[in-house]
Amino acid sequence: MTQNKSAWMAHVKRLLPWLGTGILLAYMATTTDLETIGHSLADVNIVAVLLLASVGTLATFLIDSFCVARVFTRFVCKVSYREALPIKATSYFLNILNYNLALVGMAFYLQRSRQAPFWSSLGSLFFLNVMDILTLCVLLVVGLMATQGTGVLDGSTEVVAWFMAAGGFGGFALVVLMLKLDLKIPVVSRLLKLQMLAPLADLNVGTVFYFLGLRMCLLLTYLGSQYILLQLFAIDVPLLRLVVYNSLITFVQIVPISVAGLGTVQVVMRHFYAPFVVRATGQAAAVVDAYSTTSIFSFVIFRVIVAYFFLGEFSREVIRDAEHAAPAGDMAPPSPDVDSVV
């Protein structure tokens, strides 16, 4: 009975992002001007969009793969750049279903291919995610300081952005400090001993700045491609505002309530980008919908295409196993650290 209930809950949890996507897309479909979307898509240079999506996807894939190689080498075992390519390619396929499943899939890949400890591998990827959050916080602060006093950002956006940046920096500093000092706090101390948090306990200033630099290259590459794509749709968002907006949108995208960010980021983009539509023949929000939908689908499609060329048969086996193992919760044997917390 308990196993059946757990399996049922796992399936429900897996379907929730699809449900969220359906609800959000239905909301957008009933609140947008489909005729304006059609005009926007007809006016845009589709060849330029496809070229931008292909080049941007390839660039981010290569940079991201290098980051994966470096973080595994630093915290788990030596992984060459060439070895990291199929690992990252595996995550691109799993990311379509669930962002967290993509991380688990990469750790699962390293466990299967190199007999590396699963939780150590997952911990190194978790650390990379933490670096992404810190990098976004850095970009937020840069954008906020550059626009301070200019009035280009509305008050609510500034407050939210400062709050998120402060929360990111403060949360990171607090966790690392608690790990370094090995404070004895009921429940919290046991959580901090999780093997997945080991990379944060093993940090030094040089490592933090090294990976911040790597992830900054990745995020700036993506930011640049989005800026150009916005211009192709005649949405003239000033670059400094885009630094702030894109960082906030990325934070929203992390929330796993839809598939591949469909719906969630588009609703937020409407709020941020609609005022900058240059030549709207109809509803400005519909132009933003045309841009956001094109951006998401083109980059997802090219991610799959690029990743396919780096997949081997072993990668395909890992993808199949990860998809089947994740709902059952048997991705890897539980570590002693996990047992002690549970």
**Hey, CA dihedral for 183, 71, 295, 138, is it positive or negative?**
positive
Question: Side chain identity at 294, as an amino acid letter?
Answer: T
Q: Given this model, what pLDDT does residue 217 score?
A: 96
Task: Give the count of beta carbons closer than 10 Å to the beta carbon of residue 250.
Answer: 20
Q: Given this model, what pLDDT does residue 340 score?
A: 27
Integer Cα distance of 25 and 40 in angstroms: 19
pLDDT tens digits, 41-97: 888 898 999 999 999 999 999 999 999 999 999 999 999 999 999 999 888 888 776
Q: Given this model, what pLDDT does residue 231 score?
A: 94
Radius of gyration of the chain (CA): 21
**CB-based contacts of 9, cutoff 8 Å, min separation 6:** none
For residue 17, which of 265, 257, 296 has the smallest C-alpha distance? 257
Q: Which residues pair with 197 in a beta bridge?
A: none
Average pLDDT taken over every residue of the chain: 80
Q: Given this model, what pLDDT does residue 339 score?
A: 29
Q: Given this model, what pLDDT does residue 35 score?
A: 75
Q: Given this model, what pLDDT does residue 56 score?
A: 94
Contact (CB, 8 A) for 262 and 25? yes
Q: Which residues pair with 235 in a beta bridge?
A: 277
Q: Which two tokens stand for residue 292?
A: 């956001």
- Local structure of 127: helix, strand or coil: helix
- Local structure of 183: helix, strand or coil: coil
Per-domain boundaries in the chain: 16-341
Integer Cα distance of 33 and 184 in angstroms: 57
Distances 45 to 34, 232, 296 between C-alpha atoms, Å: 19, 7, 17
Taking residues 94-109, report their average pLDDT.
Answer: 79
pTM of the shown model: 0.82
**Percent share of the chain, pLDDT over 90:** 34
- Local structure of 277: helix, strand or coil: strand
Q: Given this model, what pLDDT does residue 25 score?
A: 62
In this model, does residue 191 exceed pLDDT 60? yes
